[in-house]
Amino acid sequence: QVQLVESGGGLAQPGGSLRLSCTAAGRTSSSVSMGWFRQAPGKEREFVAAIRWSDDVTYYADSVKGRFTISRDNAKISVYLQMHSLKPEDTAVYYCALANSRLVLSMMRVEDDYEYWGQGTRVTVSS
């Protein structure tokens, strides 16, 4: 069993920045994929960004490309989401997810390919 714990959410002004963190505890494979998804009020959960441990390949939703950066910690199973130029439409609960396998690029945005999920951390962008 793997547990994911997110942190770093909060309130930011439009144009501001926040950094989300997610750390996995438990037994994982040697080649995981981790991603961030978000769910805005009244909307379905959507893909934000993902990273593959084996080769550092990253993948972003068009809506965050150029503003958000996903990265990982080599020493532990941790993933980060650095968010810049935040917009009100970035307001959502952000979820960390882990797949115990090396996902192909086209699958990195698919929720069903991730076996483990965090509890979510709320991000509010408002003036």
Burial (0-12, 13-18, 19+ Cβ within 10 Å), 65: exposed
Write down the pLDDT at residue 38.
Answer: 98
Note the pLDDT of residue 103.
87
Quick: pLDDT tens for 112-123. Answer: 999 999 999 999
Q: Which positions of the chain have pLDDT values less than 50?
A: none
